[in-house]
């Protein structure tokens, strides 16, 4: 810092302690810091952009999956979290204002409230995540739809795949297999139980151990290699996708259904049930949860980082570090926190409010 000029500190703006030597004025220093922060925020937007892109591509290709699977998410908690995060953004903005005006008491109060808002957001997120865990709706192999969707080419199993798992999400899972989600056998059993509830036609395959399931999957590989590949659509349009009836694959008649047709079929307020999904959509249902967890997870990590940063400037503000002449860290942490809020503003309708 300005140790060499410490004796010059008669004028308050000559060389304040917070002014680094390579800046002419505190103002220039602050503007440079802000510019750097905005460049960083741009990289954050680009990083989330990758996930938004994955979302867009997946949703464009499988709109029915979104209509079906988003019902697993709790809209009420999502809305509450939106309000909590917006409120914490408001208190953060008020805190920056207080820092600019040198109102230390308000600054400390507002930073504390913002921190509280972040904590509240994470608590609600934890409630949501644990509910997903309880209902076998986690990522990868911990997702019931993932486990059973390996049976895409085996419609018998696909049918008993907890067809209305999601309708039952509100705590109907009383059969008490909340443990061992990681085991394929466990999730398989879970699916069987739900199939039993439906009392549809069942075959002895349900009782098969996982090894046998793996074998049948291996057999399916051979089958799929014989699938007649559809000829490419003449005009190259999605809507031109041809039907591909295949004798070996039951229910695959509408496998290559155009996206537009699917949307038209479920236009409006009708949300498809699981058994109404096309085979390809059944297969991809679990990906909705991958995307949900990746997007909200990365966002949640940002909330945690933001809370850490707010704690840092809270301690600094209690220690009287900031003044109307120097409040850049408050401003920049505020920008970060608002960006986290901005991303949630888009995540909420995209994930929770699909119509």
Give the burial class of 46: count Cβ atoms within 10 A of its Cβ; 0-12 exposed, 13-18 middle, 19 or more buried. exposed
Pick the closer one to another protein by CB: 16 or 297. Answer: 16
CB-nearer residue toward another protein: 44 or 275:
44
- How many CA within 13 A on the CB side of residue 68? 29
Pick from 105, 84, 85: which is nearest to 95 by CA?
Answer: 105
User: What's the CA gap between 155 and 212, in Å, rounded?
Assistant: 16
Task: Compute CA 135 distance to the chain's CA centroid, rounded to the nearest angstrom.
Answer: 17
Pick the closest to residue 135 from 125, 126, 145 (CA basis).
Answer: 145
Taking the least distance from each CB to another protein, the nearer of 56 and 170 is 56
Residues making up the chain, counted from first to last: 355
Q: What is the smallest separation between the CB atom of 102 and another protein, expressed in angstroms?
A: 10
Q: C-beta of 24: minimal distance to another protein in Å? A: 6
* Smallest separation, CB 291 to another protein (Å): 14
Nearer to another protein, 32 or 131 (CB): 32
Report the nearest approach of another protein to the CB of residue 199 (Å).
27
Encode 101-134 in three state secondary structure.
Answer: HCCHHHHHHHHHHHHHHHHHHHHHHHHHHHHHHH
- Which CB atom, from 56 or from 301, has the smaller least distance to another protein? 56
C-alpha distances (whole Å) from 284 to each of 72, 234, 274, 342 are 15, 26, 11, 28
Task: Please state the closest distance from residue 259 (CB atom) to another protein, in A.
Answer: 7
CA angle 154, 157, 161 (to 5 degrees): 130
Shortest distance (Å) from residue 87 CB to another protein: 7
Closer CB to another protein, 180 or 324, in the complex: 324
């Amino acid at each position: 810092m300005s140790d060499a000029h410490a004796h010059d500190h008669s004028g308050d703006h000559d060389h304040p302690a917070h002014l680094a030597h390579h800046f002419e004025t505190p103002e220039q220093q602050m503007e440079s810091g802000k510019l750097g922060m905005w460049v960083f925020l741009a990289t954050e937007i680009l990083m989330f952009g990758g996930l938004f892109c994955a979302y867009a591509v997946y949703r464009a290709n499988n709109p029915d999956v979104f209509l079906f699977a988003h019902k697993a998410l709790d809209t009420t908690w999502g809305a509450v979290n939106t309000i909590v995060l917006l409120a914490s953004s408001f208190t953060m903005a008020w805190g920056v204002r207080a820092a600019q005006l040198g109102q230390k008491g308000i600054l400390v109060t507002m930073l504390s409230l913002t921190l509280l808002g972040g904590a509240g957001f994470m608590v609600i997120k934890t409630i949501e995540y644990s509910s997903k865990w309880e209902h076998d709706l986690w990522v990868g192999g911990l997702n019931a739809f993932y486990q059973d969707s390996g049976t895409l080419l085996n419609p018998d199993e696909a049918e008993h795949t907890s067809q209305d798992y999601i309708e039952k999400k509100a705590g109907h899972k009383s059969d008490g297999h909340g443990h061992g989600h990681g085991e394929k056998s466990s999730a398989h059993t879970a699916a069987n139980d739900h199939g039993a509830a439906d009392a549809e036609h069942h075959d002895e395959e349900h009782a098969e151990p996982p090894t046998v399931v793996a074998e049948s999957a291996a057999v399916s590989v051979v089958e799929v290699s014989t699938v007649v590949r559809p000829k490419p659509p003449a005009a190259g349009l999605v809507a031109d996708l041809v039907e591909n009836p295949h004798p070996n694959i039951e229910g695959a008649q509408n496998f290559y259904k155009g996206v537009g047709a699917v949307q038209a079929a479920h236009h409006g307020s009708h949300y498809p049930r699981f058994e109404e999904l096309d085979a390809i959509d059944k297969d991809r249902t679990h990906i909705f949860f991958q995307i949900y967890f990746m997007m909200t997870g990365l966002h949640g990590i940002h909330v945690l980082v933001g809370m850490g940063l707010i704690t840092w400037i809270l301690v600094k503000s209690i220690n009287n570090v900031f003044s109307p002449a120097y409040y850049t860290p408050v401003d920049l942490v505020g920008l970060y926190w608002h960006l986290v809020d901005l991303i949630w503003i888009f995540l909420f309708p995209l994930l929770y409010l699909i119509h």
